[in-house]
Amino acid sequence: MKTEQVDVLVIGAGPAGTVAASIIHQAGYKVKIVEKMKFPRFVIGESLLPRSMDALNEAGFIDAIKAKGFQEKFGAKFVKGDALCDFTFKEQYTPGWTWTWQVTRADFDKTLADTVESMGVPVAYETTVTDIRFNGSDSVTTIEDKDGNKSTIEARFIVDGSGYGRVIPRLFNLEKNSSLQPRKALFSHTVDTRRSMADEPNRITAVVHKKGVWIWIIPFSTGVTSLGFVGDPEFFAQYPGTDEEVYRALLEAEPYTRERFRDVELVFEPRVLQSWSATTDKFYGDGFVLTGNVTEFLDPIFSSGVTLACVSSQTAAKLVIKKLRGEDVDWEKEYMEPTLQGVNTFRSYVMAWYEGTLDTIFFKKDADPVIKGQICSVLAGYVWDMSNPFVKNHDTALKRLARTIELTEKLKSSSEIE
């Protein structure tokens, strides 16, 4: 069997894998990416956050992405009935990038993979990791190409950026159940000819359809718009018919989407994804680190997936370089804790969204601009800025604020009655 030697083997050529590969390669190490699919390939996750831009920049990807003409994104809008809450990233509390992109992931991920390949990192497509043997931190990985040819890769370190493939957690039984309840998404790409009915395309919209059920609207620069419904599987079960019939019935049932998307042309048959939340006990081990979705994926509501993938890979790549240079790395303190800090902040916001706490906050009239800026920072992905009280106290601050708003409203309406 053919054997190849590298410093670092990266599993997966999504945002997590390519960001890590590029940063480690730029430090002078021999890196190889193994990717199961042929690119371009479809993956969901089309709305980025400004915080991802710093990682994409460090990886050297910004110019290549810019050249693709993806839709620029400057904010996010939340809608519930007639109530509206518009966040513009320029209002964010934390200094940093205030814009990003809305991307078709097939094109975006191919751009990142082509760029890293042009830098000198080989990408083996249609090649799957089937086995890994560790000997201390050194490893021997067995891979299999599309014709069934097996070979091995000897590496000093492995970055697992295999996303939903979850290669290392699956091979080494590190899987853990998510704390979030299973949800389902039904989505498609639509030919959005009536887009001028909304103040788009340079932001995404999340529409509260019913408690626990919401819609994403992500316009692309091509005139196509990604639109998906997310909710409990039981919610979808009320609607009979094929996925397309259910999708069209839901578009008709929601006043915000009814006119704009009536009889809309679909680019592909609506697709279903469900029970996507997953995590693992440890994000690292002797000779490997997990990045991106393999660490933990929560929920699509705040578009956190690609940003967490890019930032975790940016952090991990620097630690891998340190380790290869023979320096000590405290993976718990330097990787697990900061990664969890980001994930846990978003987890609080995801839970607050489904509990309705964020409805109270988002749809309050005359929001305090300081608080709005601090929350806007979280929505832009700045979930490591501990000077922001809505990051530092993410698990309590939202509930406290919602309670204060509710009490003030109650007092106001009782004084009006008197």
**Does 165 help bind ligand FAD (rule: CB under 6 A)?**
yes
**Does 346 help bind ligand FAD (rule: CB under 6 A)?**
no
Cβ neighbourhood burial of 72 (10 Å; 0-12, 13-18, 19+)? middle
Q: Distance (Å, rounded) from C-alpha 218 to C-alpha 237?
A: 25
Contact region for ligand FAD (CB under 6 A) — 10-18, 172-180, 253-261, 394-402?
Answer: 10-18
Q: Distance (Å, rounded) from C-alpha 344 to C-alpha 350?
A: 10
**Does 303 help bind ligand FAD (rule: CB under 6 A)?**
yes
17/397 with CB nearer ligand FAD: 17
- Three-state DSSP class for residue 329: coil
Contact region for ligand FAD (CB under 6 A) — 59-67, 159-167, 236-244, 410-418?
Answer: 159-167
Q: Which of 23, 167, 215, 319 binds ligand FAD (CB under 6 A)?
A: 167
Instruction: Give CA angle at 10 (7, 16), nearest 5°.
Output: 135
Structural contact between residues 347 and 320, judged by C-beta atoms closer than 8 angstroms:
no
| Shortest reach from residue 276's CB to ligand FAD, in Å | 4
Tell me the CA end-to-end span of the chain in Å, nearest whole number: 86
**Does 339 help bind ligand FAD (rule: CB under 6 A)?**
no
Contact region for ligand FAD (CB under 6 A) — 41-49, 317-325, 346-354, 407-415?
Answer: 41-49
Question: Diameter of the chain by CA atoms?
Answer: 86
SS3 content of the chain, % helix, strand, coil (to 5): 40, 25, 35
Q: Which of 20, 21, 31, 34 binds ligand FAD (CB under 6 A)?
A: 34
**Does 289 help bind ligand FAD (rule: CB under 6 A)?**
no
**Does 273 help bind ligand FAD (rule: CB under 6 A)?**
yes
**Does 283 help bind ligand FAD (rule: CB under 6 A)?**
no
Q: Distance (Å, rounded) from C-alpha 32 to C-alpha 21?
A: 8
Residues in contact with ligand FAD by the rule CB under 6 A:
11-17, 34-37, 43-48, 128-129, 161-165, 167, 185, 273, 276, 292-293, 297, 300, 303, 305-307, 309
